[in-house]
Amino acid sequence: MVDKAFRFGVVAAAAEGGAKWLQTARRAEELGYSTLLCPDNLNLPTPTAALAAAAVATTELRVGSFVLASPLRTARAAAWESHSLTVVTGGRFELGIGTGLPTMRRQAEWLGLPYGSGQERLDSIAETIDEVRRLDGDTHTPVMVAAGGPKIRRLAGEKADIVTLAGGVLTPRAEMAGHAEEIRAAAGDRDIELGLNVFVIGEQVPPFIQQFTGADAQTLIEHDSLSMLRGSVDDMAAELERRREELGVSYISVNGAFIEQFAPVVARLSGK
């Protein structure tokens, strides 16, 4: 199923402020990452401001949200911000969007916005994409949807340019392959790129990642988790080639904690 060449993103937050954030952006570009991706959370600087700064500090690095949580903005506000980033970055922005974690309910309330039902949040994503397309005109903002459930997989296949497989960290490989097939079926003749976010490089799980995923290293290894890559550079490269063959994933993102550790794999596989 080898289709698209590999490219790589690094997921990081601008939590420590300007100088450190710009250093991260420049380092990601130096190491050959395609994209710097920024999470969306009211406890962090807004990704739109952070990504605009990162784009100014670099020359070719793409920037993207990972992902805008639909409950934290109206659909039209999200589309406006996204199109604006496409304009000010010279076309280097990728809109990543998803329905948001359950923890976003309280954050949405703080903003005076409804969290919404599952269907309402899906409808908001669809409206955001449609509105971005309208605002873009002759430009094009690539849209990435983080797709966990069947409804959003179908929506992503129908409307997104990029779809990140967002099942649970212990989702079996065969089940994830089925999810990828659902997305491709929904896409039909549309050309889409499939992605996968890898939380852990190596066999040590940082405490903040373990808290987020709810799984320690032993559990991830025992379940052959797709959220982990370990072994030598050769081992990791071979595993990613296997995942591309079996799942069709070619856009791999890793947590910023592993930006240096994963760089040799980026150098090995980027563009291949």
The model's pLDDT over 238-254, given as tens digits with 9 standing for 90+, comes to: 999 999 999 999 999 99
Question: How much is the pTM?
Answer: 0.96
Q: What's the rounded Cα separation, in Å, for the pair 116 and 174?
A: 32
Q: Are 93 and 82 in contact (CB under 8 A)?
A: yes
Of the candidates 256, 235, 220, the one whose C-alpha atom is nearest the C-alpha of residue 44 is 256
Q: Are 80 and 135 in contact (CB under 8 A)?
A: yes
Tokens of 258: 């592993």
In the structure, what pLDDT confidence band is assigned to residue 208 with cuts at 50, 70 and 90? Answer: very high
Q: Report the percentage of the chain scoring pLDDT > 70.
A: 99
- pLDDT for the residue numbered 2: 52
Q: Crossing angle of helices 18-30/47-56, nearest 10°?
A: 60
Which one of 3.20.20.30, 3.50.30.10, 3.90.230.10, 3.40.30.10 gives the CATH number of domain 7-269? 3.20.20.30
Residue-wise pLDDT tens digits, 26-73: 999 999 999 999 999 999 999 999 999 999 999 999 999 999 999 999
Residue given tokens 């329905």 in the structure block:
99
**Could you state, in order of their start, the residue ranges of all structural domains in the chain?**
7-269
In the structure, what pLDDT confidence band is assigned to residue 1 with cuts at 50, 70 and 90? Answer: low
| Angle ∠(244,248,251) on CA atoms, nearest 5 | 75
